[in-house]
């Protein structure tokens, strides 16, 4: 399809990341770079560190920020917590757990995987068994993806902590909250999570480019003892008051100003209100899918309603019904709603509607209507989705 010279109105961005930016974030980034001795640079870093600790519900975790995306902080965790040849366990959640596992193996670490059942959260029993089987305690850490952005499934980190405790295994617990932070409830200390991993471009409503980890004392001690050669990612080296050392070089200042503004917005709205808003908007999307599935061509990928993510909904399409890429193109080019496709094993089998970050009912209804219009344009049999979403939002 040819692009018109000008697209009237806005294109709705409903990928699960990057997500739309609030105007306040855009404005905060619109500043001239500063020399590294400017006190505003340090004040900004300290504000972001504190804001993230409070968002993660951690009193004492050390926050390390990187000029990188989510894959960068995945690497930071691997390099700091295990030496080449050592093992970590990665709980199966789908495409994102598998990608992290492949990256970890590429870095020369051994990976123990627990099986993934399509459409289901982490199997905590299988995880407990795998830990019991490791009687020599070779597994250094358990990596879990809180919300698998490809599956649209959120696992319960509490059940993972209980599995570790039941197996009496000393491994660290590392949670990837890239897609769930500031969307789904998460409290690092209370859940017994030792390291949390996040990035700027999803629930945090910023452009991609800042990754971070929050590390408790226990994990910091493991990093200190870890003989793996490393430099850029090294938490020990980055534990320094100087901003230049904290970032191992120049901080990504403009992005960091955006992040500070985003954290202020979340603080002002109130974290529980932010969580409630995500649950409500996700409910509208789920209501729409419930309507669409009556046509018999599409359905939820997540099998349990309780584990359906508040950040992104993965919608499975019956084989032979419609090409996912055609559906996305019609939604994007004709109706101005950008949706995501399926990833990894779901490529060509599913599409995804992101509903996290800076989102409101009008945007969600627009996304649902655009998706439904595209499905109808292509002759996909679907029941009434928009109506169900409107009714749900109107009844609350
Ligand atoms: C997006 C995402 C990542 C990867 O982030 P990038 O910034 O794309 O590298 C990792 N984990 C989860 C859960 C994600 O949603």
Note the pLDDT tens digit of each residue in 108-162.
Answer: 999 999 999 999 999 999 999 999 999 999 999 999 999 999 999 999 999 999 9
User: Is pLDDT above 90 for 233?
Assistant: yes
Instruction: Write the DSSP symbol of residue 144.
Output: E
73 C-alpha to center of ligand 1: Å? 9
Q: Identify the residue whose C-alpha is closest to ligand 1 atom 11.
A: 178
Cβ burial, residue 264 (10 Å; 0-12/13-18/19+) = middle
Q: How far apart are CA 164 and CA 132, in angstroms?
A: 9
223 C-alpha to center of ligand 1: Å? 23
pLDDT above 90 covers what percent of the chain? Answer: 95
Model pLDDT for residues 308-333, shown as the tens digit of each residue: 999 999 999 999 999 999 999 999 99
- Residue 339 pairs with which residues in a beta bridge? 14
Token pair 């950008």 in the structure block, residue: 338
For residue 204, what pLDDT is reported?
A: 98
**Ligand 1 pocket test, candidate residues 15, 16, 17, most atoms within 8 A of CB:** 17
Q: Are strands 312-317 and 350-354 parallel, antiparallel or unpaired?
A: antiparallel
* Both structure tokens of 40: 């505003």
For residue 241, what pLDDT is reported?
A: 82
Nearest to 315 by CA among 16, 13, 17, 7: 16
Q: How far apart are CA 132 and CA 130, in angstroms?
A: 5
pLDDT confidence tier of residue 243, bands split at 50, 70 and 90 = confident
3 C-alpha to center of ligand 1: Å? 30
CA distances from 253 to 70, 164, 233, 244 (A): 18, 39, 19, 11
For residue 262, what pLDDT is reported?
A: 98
357 C-alpha to center of ligand 1: Å? 15
User: Is pLDDT above 90 for 4?
Assistant: no
Q: Is the pTM of this model over 0.95?
A: yes
For residue 242, what pLDDT is reported?
A: 84
Ligand 1 atom nearest to CA at 201: 7
Q: Identify the residue whose C-alpha is closest to ligand 1 atom 4.
A: 70
Q: How far apart are CA 67 and CA 25, in angstroms?
A: 18
Mean pLDDT of all residues in 29-52:
96
156 C-alpha to center of ligand 1: Å? 18
Segments in the chain forming alpha helices (H): 23-29, 39-55, 70-81, 95-106, 124-133, 157-166, 188-191, 217-225, 235-238, 243-246, 253-269, 271-292, 324-329, 361-377, 386-395
Nearest to 358 by CA among 27, 22, 26: 22
């Amino acid at each position: 399809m040819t692009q018109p010279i000008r697209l009237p109105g806005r294109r709705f961005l409903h990928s699960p990341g990057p997500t739309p930016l609030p105007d306040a974030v855009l404005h905060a980034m619109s500043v001239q770079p500063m020399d590294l001795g400017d006190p505003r640079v340090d004040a900004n870093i300290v504000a972001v560190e504190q804001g993230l600790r409070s968002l993660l519900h951690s009193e004492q975790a050390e926050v390390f920020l990187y000029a990188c995306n989510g894959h960068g902080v995945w690497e930071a965790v691997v390099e700091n917590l295990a030496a080449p040849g050592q093992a970590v366990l990665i709980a199966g959640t789908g495409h994102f757990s598998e990608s992290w596992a492949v990256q970890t193996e590429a870095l020369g670490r051994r990976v123990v995987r627990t099986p993934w059942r399509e459409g289901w959260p982490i199997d905590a029993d299988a995880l407990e068994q795998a830990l019991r089987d490791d009687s020599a305690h070779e597994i250094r850490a358990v990596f879990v993806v809180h919300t698998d952005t490809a599956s649209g499934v959120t696992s319960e980190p509490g059940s993972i902590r209980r599995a570790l405790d039941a197996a009496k295994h000393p491994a660290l617990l590392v949670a990837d909250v890239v897609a769930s932070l500031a969307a789904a409830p998460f409290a690092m200390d209370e859940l017994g999570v030792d390291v949390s991993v996040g990035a700027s471009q999803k629930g945090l409503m910023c452009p991609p480019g800042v990754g971070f980890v929050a590390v408790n004392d226990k994990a910091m001690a493991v990093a200190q003892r870890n003989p793996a050669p490393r430099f850029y990612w090294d938490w020990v080296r980055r534990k320094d008051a100087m901003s230049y050392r904290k970032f191992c070089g120049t901080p990504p200042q403009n992005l960091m100003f955006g992040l500070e503004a985003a954290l202020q917005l979340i603080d002002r709205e109130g974290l529980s209100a932010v969580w409630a808003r995500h649950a409500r908007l996700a409910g509208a999307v789920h209501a729409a899918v419930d309507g669409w599935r009556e046509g018999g061509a599409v359905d939820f990928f997540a099998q349990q309603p309780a584990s359906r993510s508040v950040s992104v909904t993965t919608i499975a399409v019956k084989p032979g019904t419609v090409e996912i890429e055609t559906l996305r193109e019609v939604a994007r080019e004709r109706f101005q709603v950008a949706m995501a496709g399926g990833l990894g094993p779901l490529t060509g089998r599913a599409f995804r509607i992101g509903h996290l970050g800076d989102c409101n009912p009008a945007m969600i209804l627009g996304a649902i209507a655009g998706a439904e219009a595209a499905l109808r344009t292509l002759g996909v049999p679907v029941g009434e989705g928009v109506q169900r979403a409107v009714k749900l939002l109107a009844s609350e």
